[in-house]
């Protein structure tokens, strides 16, 4: 397979991920709203983001 086809497939996958992520986050907010409030949901998203960033920082060393 040519290199440009591989990059095109990768680009398509990234665009699909970028389009699906906000929908998944919104669905999680709807599902979890009876259990936790909006503040708790935002805190959970923040904590997950910090954990992912910390993990990636340690892997680059």
- The pLDDT value given to residue 61: 65
* Cα dihedral: 18, 23, 25, 28 (round 10): -150
Q: Which residues contact 41 (CB under 8 A, 6 or more apart)?
A: 28, 29, 32, 33
Query: Largest Cα–Cα distance in the chain?
Result: 50
CA distance 12 to 49: 24
pLDDT single digits (tens) 42-56: 898 899 999 999 988
Using the predicted structure, report yes or no on whether residue 24 has a pLDDT greater than 80: yes
Using the predicted structure, report yes or no on whether residue 15 has a pLDDT greater than 80: yes
Q: Which residues contact 33 (CB under 8 A, 6 or more apart)?
A: 41
Domain ranges of the chain: 3-60
């Amino acid at each position: 397979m040519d290199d440009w086809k591989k990059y095109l497939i990768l680009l398509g996958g990234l665009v699909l991920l970028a389009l699906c992520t906000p929908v998944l986050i919104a669905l999680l907010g709807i599902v979890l709203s009876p259990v936790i409030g909006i503040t708790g949901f935002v805190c959970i998203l923040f904590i997950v983001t910090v954990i992912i960033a910390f993990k990636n920082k340690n892997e680059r060393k």
